[in-house]
Homo-oligomer: A and B are copies of this chain.
Amino acid sequence: MTGDRVRDRADVVGDLHEEVGVSLARCDYRYTAGRRRIVDALADAGKPITLPDILAAAPELAPSSVYRNLDVLERSGVVQRIAAAGAHSFFEFAEPLISHHHHLICIDCGIIEDFRLDDDMERRVDSGLLEAAGKAGFTPLRHSVDLHGYCAACA
């Protein structure tokens, strides 16, 4: 029961680490303890977080190393950066490590949360975007749909 749930979670996290390890190895990067700590912090958060968030979760890490490793993880397709104006960037797992989703961005406190569109809607959006891209001679790789407004806490 409780034991099983813990076991399950450990397995899921174990799978995550394995997938990350494979992604890193594909680019000739090593999966070091520091990188594992970053991945743990991202997994624990369950939403996009900033460098200070990561340092708060793993104070033993050197800021410069975290920046470098986030860059390595981004290059390996493990994490994705979300740019914020005049503030810290946010980081979260990239697809396919995390299922396709979009962002709720609070224009007051800056927090970013994930949300999913149902498959039908997602397909329609995607085909609409593909069409628009084709007309513009654009080769699309991915799309992002962000909702800007006030989160439950700031409303």
Contacts and interface: CB of A to CB of B under 8 A. Distances in A.
B136 A104 contact: yes
* A interface residue count range (under 10 / 10 to 19 / 20 to 34 / 35 or more): 35 or more
Q: How many copies does the complex hold?
A: 2
Contacts of A145: 125, 129, 143-146
Contacts of A118: 128
A113 interface: yes
If over half of A's interface residues share one DSSP class (helix, strand or loop), that class is named, otherwise mixed; here it is mixed
Contact of A136 (B115, B137, B148): B115
Contacts of A152: 136-138
A81 B137 CA distance: 25
Interface in A24-45: none
Nearest to A116: B132
Given A85-B81, A117-B128, A141 B148 contact: yes
A147 interface: yes
Nearest to A105: B144
A6 interface: no
Contacts of A138: 104, 106, 113, 147, 149-152, 155
